[in-house]
Amino acid sequence: MHGGNSVSRTASKVVSMRNAVAQHVRDGDVLVIEGFTHLICFAAAHEIIRQKRRNLTLCRLTPDVIYDQMIAAGCATKLVFSWAGNPGAGSLHAFRRAVEAKPPTLAIEEYSHFGMVARFSAGAARLPFWPLRDYQGTDLPVANPQIRSITCPYTGAAIATVPALNPDVTIVHAQRADADGNTQIWGLLGVQKEAAFASKRVIVVVEELVDSSVIRADPNRTIIPGMIVDAVVVEPWGAHPSYAQGCYDRDNPFYTAWEAISRDAERLQSYLDEWVYGVADRAEYVRRQPQLVERLTARRAMSGEVSYGY
């Protein structure tokens, strides 16, 4: 009963980053570009900055350098998050300037990591809330009245709740997908599956477009099914300066350098002028830094194979 990729409804999901952003990311959207340290799609953020999207509500556990750039570029009016630092390097200064301004120029809605994960889990399951045993003794429920509680119908215990997060659009970077958007990720998985299932629209950005037969050879690696994907963008090195396991390493020197760049608002704008506005797309970004490929390309560390036969 076999017979090719009969699941594809259409071949037209594969589009350029420019078209994917133009079509699916709109002013005022609740936007998620997820990936916990791993697979953070800077290529999508830069295209959103170039297309001058405005009034976005940006959601991520760790806003990271990617949202610091988008905040500096004026894309965001609100940030929903749980940890806003530059891992291993210092602060996100565009974020800090916006929040420390009198009055603040960026609204925030703040959880812990578990709270954010729970919000995406609820969104993915289309439940209005998610229960978690958390937040006792902290000031977070005071700072954020969306953190509430519920009484367990079995034990009578109070259990914290967070509301579902259902973004307008979620962008996920991955190692590979087929043309229909059946997407495989290995290494750190973060909350990408939950964010994608929670979202109204999903853009998948991949290092490599593969034939469906590659996906079908190892179906347990598929994290996001094509049926929930609206666009597939093929963008090698699209996660730099973050990393893609098996493809390229994290650019730690860049993260360290961001501390000084972002501390100075003018220098940050110069960075955006040169590396975001100043390039047409990710291909040009990579072409203009030939040393990246040499410096960061991953060595191989193979997984071994298993058999799916019967």
Partner 1 sequence: MDTREDEKTGRREDEMLGGREERAYSGSELMACVAARELRDGEVVFVGIGLPNLACNLARRTHAPGLVLIYESGAIGAQPERLPVSIGDPSLVTGSLMVCSMADVFQCFLQNGRIEVGFLGGAQVDRFGNINTTAIGDYASPKVRLPGAGGATEIAIHAKRTLIIAKLDRRAFREQVDFISSPGHRARGRSRADLRIPGAGPTRVITDKAILAANAETGELELAALYPGVTVDEVRAGIGWELSVRESLEVVAAPSAEELRALREDVKVE
Residues that bind a second copy (CB under 8 A): 126-129, 131-133, 148-155, 157, 159, 161, 163-164, 175, 184, 186-187, 189, 214, 217-218, 220-221, 243, 245-246, 248-250, 298-310
Q: Is 96 in the site for partner 1 (CB under 8 A)?
A: yes
191: helix, coil or strand?
A: coil
Range 3-42, binding partner 1 (CB under 8 A): 3, 6-9, 36-38
| Binding residue count for partner 1, defined by CB under 8 A | 87
Q: Whose Cβ is closer to partner 1: residue 107's or residue 280's? A: 107
Q: How far is the CB of 121 from partner 1 (least distance, A)?
A: 5
| Calpha distance 298→138 (Å, rounded) | 42
The residues in 279-298 that bind partner 1, with binding defined as CB under 8 A, are 298
Contact string (CB under 8 A) for partner 1, positions 237-276, x = contact: ------x-x---xx-x--x---------------------
- Determine how many CB atoms are found less than 10 A away from the CB of residue 63: 26
Strand order in the sheet with 158-163: 129-132, 158-163, 148-151
Measured from the Cβ of residue 8, the count of other Cβ atoms closer than 10 Å reads: 16
Shortest CB 76 distance to partner 1, Å: 15
Question: 89 contacts which partner out of a second copy, partner 1, none, CB within 5 to 8 A by kind?
Answer: partner 1
CA distance 232 to 182: 9
- How far apart CA 212 and CA 5 sit, in angstroms, is 6
**Beta carbons within 8 Å of 257's beta carbon, 6+ residues apart:** none
Binding mask of the shown chain, residues 54 to 93, with x at each position contacting partner 1 by CB under 8 A:
-------xx------------------xxxxx-xxxxx--
Distance of CA 228 to CAs 26, 231, 259, Å?
19, 10, 37
Per the DSSP assignment, residues forming a β-bridge with 203 are: 171, 231
280: three-class secondary structure by DSSP: coil
CA distances from 133 to 15, 90, 152 (A): 43, 30, 11
With CB under 8 A as the contact rule, the residue among 11, 103, 156, 304 that binds partner 1 is: 103
Question: Which CA distances in Å does 155 have to 38, 132, 147, 276?
Answer: 39, 14, 21, 54
Q: Compare residues 18 and 263 and give the one whose CB is closer to partner 1.
A: 263
Other C-beta atoms lying within 10 Å of the C-beta of residue 213? 10
CB of 198 to a second copy, least distance (A): 15
Binders of partner 1 in range 181-240 (CB under 8 A): 182, 186-191, 193-194, 197, 212, 215-217, 219-220, 222, 225-228
Of 96 and 148, the one with the shorter C-beta distance to a second copy is: 148
Contact between 2 and partner 1 by CB under 8 A: the answer reads yes
